[in-house]
């Protein structure tokens, strides 16, 4: 089965039925093995907790949601029975260092403007890009900056539909 890399948006789409990418991600997960960098799962859990706990005001609700997501993704055999093929990519220190180098060399792809003239690093995207360059897998993404990065470095990508 062909392996493809997905970004955090794809993981979000696979996880949440109300995502506009849910149907296409379920279909993709049946056709290809989805390679998911472990840092994306961490980002998903952080954001899920923040949202479901009302920014920490309802911690039990946030923790229940983290438990649900963790249970869902820990049952890889059950997922395969449902036709969902995923594999978590272990992120190494080398991947993190390479991501930092990518940010320093290509800040236009891995920074975003915040309020009050601030800049924020898109570290998870940079880690995904480092893994993308290493594995040369096709990346499924809706992120314009990642697509532009891929074009610059002649990496294959497909846009989510």
Ordered domains of the chain (ranges, CATH):
3-90+135-159 (3.40.50.1010)
pLDDT band at 147 (very low <50, low <70, confident <90, very high): very high
pLDDT of residue 98: 98
More confident residue, 81 or 143: 143
What is the spatial distance between Cα 34 and Cα 99, in angstroms, rounded to a whole number?
A: 21
Quote the pTM value: 0.91
pLDDT above 90 covers what percent of the chain?
84
The reported pLDDT for the residue numbered 115 is 87
pLDDT tens digits, 80-129:
777 788 999 999 999 999 999 999 999 999 999 988 889 999 999 999 99
The predicted model gives 66-79 an average pLDDT of 84
Q: What is the DSSP string of 75-142?
A: -HHHHHHTT--EEEEPPPHHHHHHHHHHHHH-HHHHEEE-STT-EEE-HHHHHHHHHHHHH-PPEEE-
Handedness of CA 122, 11, 7, 20 (dihedral sign): negative
User: For residues 32 and 77, which has the higher predicted lDDT (pLDDT)?
Assistant: 32
Q: Give the whole-angstrom CA distance, residue 43 versus residue 50.
A: 11
Q: What digits encode the pLDDT tens for the residues 33-62?
A: 999 999 999 999 999 999 999 999 999 999
Q: Give the pLDDT score at 161.
A: 74
| pLDDT reading at 76 higher than 80 | no
């Amino acid at each position: 089965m062909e392996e493809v890399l997905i970004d955090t948006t794809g993981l979000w789409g696979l996880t949440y039925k109300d995502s506009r990418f849910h149907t296409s991600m379920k279909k993709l997960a049946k056709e290809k093995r989805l390679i998911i960098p472990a840092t994306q799962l961490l980002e998903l859990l952080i954001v899920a907790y923040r949202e479901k706990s009302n920014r920490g005001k309802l911690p039990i609700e946030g923790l229940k949601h983290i438990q649900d997501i963790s249970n869902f993704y820990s049952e890889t055999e059950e997922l395969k029975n449902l036709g969902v093929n995923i594999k978590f990519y272990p992120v190494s220190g080398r991947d993190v260092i390479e991501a930092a180098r990518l940010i320093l060399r290509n800040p236009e792809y891995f920074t975003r403007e915040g309020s009050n003239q601030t800049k924020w690093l898109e570290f998870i995207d940079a880690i995904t890009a480092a893994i993308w360059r290493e594995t040369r897998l096709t990346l499924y993404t809706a992120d314009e900056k990642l697509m532009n990065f891929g074009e610059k470095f002649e990496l294959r990508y497909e846009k989510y539909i």
